[in-house]
């Protein structure tokens, strides 16, 4: 979820130790963990309410699939991996083959 390396994590811990001191740091960490748990629980409840509101036909809905990056990859880019045309059932032309030319259509 977060892209934090070891060096950044140690730097954050040292900074927290300097700001809050060794006496208050465990209390602050405990409160931060409780807040994070409450936010996760709230997100789970909200997700459940959204799925319940959409009805049983959308029971398999994964809200993470609606993230713009995943949505584009799933609906646009995954179609290009196969050997079919992305918009219909026509096969893609092999490399070097020219598309058919219709003189009446042009």
pLDDT of residue 57: 84
Locate all alpha helices (DSSP H) within the chain, ordered by sequence: 6-54, 68-72
Residue 66 and residue 56 in one domain: no
Can you tell me the distance from the alpha carbon of 51 to that of 94, in angstroms, rounded to the nearest whole number? Answer: 44
Query: Same structural domain for residues 66 and 53?
Result: no
* 55/74 same-domain check: no
Q: Is the pLDDT of residue 87 over 70?
A: no
pLDDT tens digit string along 57-72?
A: 887 878 788 888 888 8
- Residues 34 and 78 reside in one and the same domain: no
In a domain, 37, yes or no: yes
Are both 49 and 29 inside the same structural domain? Answer: yes
* Whether residue 22 sits in one domain with residue 5: yes
Q: Does the predicted model carry a pTM greater than 0.75?
A: no
Task: Residue 66: give the domain boundaries.
Answer: 62-97
pLDDT confidence bin for 73, thresholds 50/70/90: confident
Please write the tens of the pLDDT for every residue from 7-44. 998 998 899 999 999 899 999 999 999 999 999 999 99
Q: Examine residue 5 and state whether it is found in any structural domain, yes or no.
A: yes
Q: What is the pLDDT of residue 89?
A: 65
Tell me: do 56 and 70 sit in the same domain. no
Query: What is the C-alpha to C-alpha distance for residues 77 and 60, in angstroms, rounded to an integer?
Result: 22
Q: How far apart are CA 60 and CA 55, in angstroms?
A: 10
Instruction: Examine residue 103 and state whether it is found in any structural domain, yes or no.
Output: no
């Amino acid at each position: 979820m977060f892209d934090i390396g070891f060096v950044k994590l140690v730097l954050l811990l040292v900074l927290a130790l300097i700001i809050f001191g060794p006496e208050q740091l465990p209390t602050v960490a405990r409160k931060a963990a409780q807040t994070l748990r409450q936010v996760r629980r709230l997100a789970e409840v909200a997700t459940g309410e959204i799925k319940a509101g959409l009805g049983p036909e959308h029971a398999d809905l994964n809200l993470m699939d609606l993230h713009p990056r995943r949505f584009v990859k799933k609906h646009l880019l995954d179609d290009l991996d196969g050997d079919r045309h992305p918009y219909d059932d026509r096969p893609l032309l092999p490399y070097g083959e020219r598309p058919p030319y219709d003189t009446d259509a042009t």
